Amino acid sequence: MSTENYSIPPITSPVSCFDFERNALNRANANATVWGIPVDVLSDLALKQNIFEQKYLITSNSATSSSAATSDRNGAWAELLNPLENLYNKYIINNSALSDADKAAMHIHEQGGRNVTPYAAPVTSPLVALVSEESSILHLIYSDPTAPNTHYKPAGVAFCELVYEVGKVPATPGECTECFYASRSHIGIVFTSDQRSKTIYSFARWVNNNGKYGPWSTMITAVIS
């Protein structure tokens, strides 16, 4: 089994970002049934895609471009980036329904060739803090228990999965109805205005590049400001 990865352009190249998300989401929508992508996942992406593309078009026009417009565009890209990464991590990477042509078009490549030995399931749980830095957003900051002073994932880990409930205490991770995937530390989880001042109850685990899961953490709580 090969280990697959993907590359998303940085916002310092907005044209590349636009081309990447437009191509990826067009293909994901066209192949949603075959690739097993839920309708609600694509619906959420479509909303954020539309906002980003509107902001992008303003900055790509010299008559309407400005530093404020660029800031708005970059913010819209940040809002689109996390669900876009979630799409890849959960439904695209190592999906056997994708052809080689699909993978090439989706910027998917193999790490180390076809003879890479798959990583074993993670044996540790992530250390997670949910930090409030602005209204209605909690930043997920993780670290590996074997290196608690860093924000690196263990070798072979693709992302940290967080399941949670807001305002209701779940007895187990399986009772949580909300899910968030963090492929890098300090990603922001955005909440609605009516969720402010409520407590989030959550559990976290590592998921590696082969789709194998580590053990769940103990409950993590935070107040949404």
Does 93 fall in a domain? yes
User: Are 182 and 134 part of one and the same domain?
Assistant: yes
pLDDT digits (tens, 9 = 90+) for 63-112: 888 999 999 999 999 999 989 999 998 899 889 898 877 787 787 877 65
pLDDT at 115 over 60: no
The 3-state DSSP composition of the chain as helix, strand, coil percent (nearest 5) reads: 35, 25, 40
CATH number at residue 210: 2.60.40.10
What pLDDT is recorded for position 112? Answer: 52
Mean pLDDT for the stretch of residues 146-153: 84
Does 33 fall in a domain? yes
User: Are 97 and 145 part of one and the same domain?
Assistant: no
Confidence of residue 118 (pLDDT cuts 50, 70, 90): low
Among 8-22, 55-69, 111-125, 195-209, whose mean pLDDT is lowest?
111-125
User: Are 21 and 103 part of one and the same domain?
Assistant: yes
> d(Cα 202, Cα 221) in Å, to the nearest integer?
6
Around 8, how many Cα atoms within 13 Å sit in the side-chain half-sphere?
Answer: 20
What pLDDT is recorded for position 43? Answer: 94
Better pLDDT: 48 or 6: 48
Does 115 fall in a domain? no
> d(Cα 131, Cα 153) in Å, to the nearest integer?
18
Does 121 fall in a domain? no
Query: Is pTM, for the whole model, over 0.85?
Result: no
User: Are 79 and 171 part of one and the same domain?
Assistant: no
Number of domains the chain is built from? 2
User: Are 103 and 134 part of one and the same domain?
Assistant: no
Range of the domain at 141: 127-223
User: Are 132 and 106 part of one and the same domain?
Assistant: no
